[in-house]
Amino acid sequence: MAETTYLDAIRRALFEEMERDANVFVMGQDVAQFGGAFRVTKGLYERFGRLRVVNTPLCESGALGAALGAALVGKRPIVEMQFADFVSCGFNQIVNNIARTYYRWEQPVPFVLRLPFGGGAGAGPFHSQSPEAWFAHVPGLAVVAPSTPADALGMMKSAIRDDNPVVYLEHRFLYRREKESLGEGEQLTPLGKARVAREGRSITILSWSWTLHESLAAAEEVAREGISVEVIDLRTLVPLDEETVMASVKKCSKVLIVHEATATAGYGAELAARIADQAFEWLDGPVKRVTYADRSSPYNKHMEKALLPGREAIVAALRKLARY
């Protein structure tokens, strides 16, 4: 069976949902004939036409406002940002309008915001950020970050069918590197449910997206030293699957949180606070974090690699935590 890349899994989800529901449509800069900045929407224009695959001007706030209007009249828009960093230009539409509409007058807003994010390509400070914490803070938004092709497919389909706005974070480094045999037929991954990616006994790692794979590699490395690590793929950050997280924390008693966003006020801080509140009595050590440094991303790839929370940094943190 041929393997499907992470990128192709997202494209498959878009095709299948647009075939299933005529109200689903795609908007964004160069998403039509060009196929999007990373070619995720390639082929959609030829299949569904210009009324369902819509190029937008270089005005993120305008595209997001138009998507909100479409959702309010029964459509199910999917908006692509070329890079997640650019979403800041439409921040007001997301946090003050899209996220708040249901609270204001109980009007559903079925809306998916696709954010290609993350570093690793030496793309510099305006194309490498991890903005999940910006949106995790806002009531009314679901925030998801799949790490595998299967979840990229299943979570996109679930996000499109959800009647609430979903921020869908897709890591650019995974697009063509992660591959998986997916098979045919309907495949849905429920939102709000974490996955135990690797079972262990001594230390819990909480992670998502690209750093999930770095965490798994680190766990394999320290296993040869007798350190048993359980790795939890959060998949959905908001709403958080606290049941799975706390069960692992209580079993292992030590916790390492790994994410690519910068440390200060990153989502890992929220995880650490909830663990301290709900599982303090089970802890045998401090809740530790491995994150990006509190600085902008450099263009130099070697400098960027030194700042990214990769396998070496995770291994070092696991060894230190195991000795605690």
Residue 220, exposed/middle/buried by CB under 10 A (0-12, 13-18, 19+)?
A: middle
Instruction: Please say if 127 is a catalytic residue.
Output: yes
Q: What is the pLDDT of residue 122?
A: 84
* Least confident residue range of 60-74, 90-104, 122-136, 228-242: 122-136
For the chain, give every domain's residue range.
4-180, 195-323
Average pLDDT over residues 4-18: 98
Is the predicted pLDDT of residue 98 greater than 80, yes or no? yes
pLDDT tens digit sequence for 189-214: 999 999 999 999 999 999 999 999 99
Is the predicted pLDDT of residue 90 greater than 70, yes or no? yes
Q: What is the pLDDT of residue 185?
A: 86
- Let me know: does 258 contact 289? Beta carbons within 8 Å: yes
Q: What is the pLDDT of residue 184?
A: 87
Average pLDDT over residues 34-44: 96
- Let me know: does 291 contact 268? Beta carbons within 8 Å: yes
| Per annotation, catalytic residue among 127, 171, 213, 259 | 127
Average pLDDT over the chain reads: 96
Average pLDDT over residues 169-174: 96
Residue with tokens 């940002």: 81
Same topology, domains 4-180 and 195-323? Answer is yes
The one-letter amino acid code at 2 reads: A
pLDDT tens digit sequence for 266-295: 999 999 999 999 999 999 999 999 999 999
Is the predicted pLDDT of residue 54 greater than 90, yes or no? yes
Q: What is the pLDDT of residue 183?
A: 87
Closest residue by Cα to residue 140 from 89, 104, 87: 104
Which fold would CATH assign to domain 4-180? Rossmann fold (3.40.50)
Is the predicted pLDDT of residue 1 greater than 70, yes or no? no
Strands 179-180, 142-144: pairing is: unpaired
pLDDT tens digit sequence for 211-263: 999 999 999 999 999 999 999 999 999 999 999 999 999 999 999 999 999 99
Average pLDDT over residues 180-184: 91
Give domain 195-323's CATH architecture.
3-Layer(aba) Sandwich (3.40)
Residue with tokens 């935590």: 321
pLDDT tens digit sequence for 108-136: 999 999 999 999 888 888 898 999 999 99
User: SS3 string of 188-212?
Assistant: CCCCCCCEEEECCCCEEEEECCHHH
